[in-house]
Amino acid sequence: MSERLEIITTYVLPGGVGQKQRQGGHITARVTLGHIFAPDGVVAEMNGEMAGAAFSSTSDPVPWIDKATRDDAAAQVERMAGLKDDVRQALAKHIRKSAYFEVSK
């Protein structure tokens, strides 16, 4: 029996967007909440101001890697100090209505 060590490196942008290997390919997804005010962060996404060649003001929100990550991010935003109440509520609502990838078992 031989053991094989496999190392997978995932590069994640400051706003939490990265690529993950799934079912023989790669997907671009929001893998973590990241810095919410980054050019690719959830605040810019909510306001239609995503920066980058792949994004425009009419782009759909970047899907989350899975439902649990998305829901955890929304809960983090609801507890986040330093945000105005209306921004906190709007951001949590935006995150919760964003799509996510189904985890294959």
| 75 assigned to some structural domain | yes
Identify the helix (H) or strand (E) that includes residue 19. strand 17-22
pLDDT of residue 78: 96
Domain coverage including residue 64: 17-97
pLDDT of residue 67: 96
Query: pTM of the full predicted structure?
Result: 0.82
Tell me the average confidence (pLDDT) per consecutive run of 10 residues in the chain, 105 residues long. Answer: 83 91 85 92 88 62 94 96 93 95 69
| 55 assigned to some structural domain | yes
| 6 assigned to some structural domain | no
| 11 assigned to some structural domain | no
Name 105's Cβ contacts closer than 8 Å, sequence gap at least 6.
none
- 59 in Cβ contact with 46 (< 8 Å): no
- 58 in Cβ contact with 91 (< 8 Å): no
| 31 assigned to some structural domain | yes
Q: Count how many domains the chain has.
A: 1
